[in-house]
Structure 1
Amino acid sequence: MNILVAIIAIVAIILLFTGGFVQSLNFLLWVGVVLLVIALIVWLLRFLGGKKTV
């Protein structure tokens, strides 16, 4: 009986860490998408505005 409780506790801890890891990866994915959009906007503004060097 004690072995069963220990196995359940270990599985619960592993699932807890896995769930937190997946949520943090999901958050980082959205941060990456937002940074990519910001970089594209800045690049477009520089490209369209252009620095006209003589």
Structure 2
Amino acid sequence: MTEEEKPVRVSIYLSEDVRARFKSACALHKKSMNEVLVEFIEEYLAQNEQSPPQPKK
């Protein structure tokens, strides 16, 4: 994120078990749940977001 980008909150619903397992897995890798989710979302967008059309030459 750049200084110009304002962070916003996103909420999701998980079962208690999935949340606990995710939190433990993140802790094992010394990362916050937020860090892991942001990385996942950025990777997902890089693979799935359409590129803007390129101008014809």
TM-score range, shorter chain: 0.3 to 0.5
Relative to the length of structure 1, the TM-score reads 0.35
**TM-score normalized by structure 2?**
0.34
Q: Which has the higher contact order (CA 8 A, sep 6+)?
A: 2
Larger Rg: 1
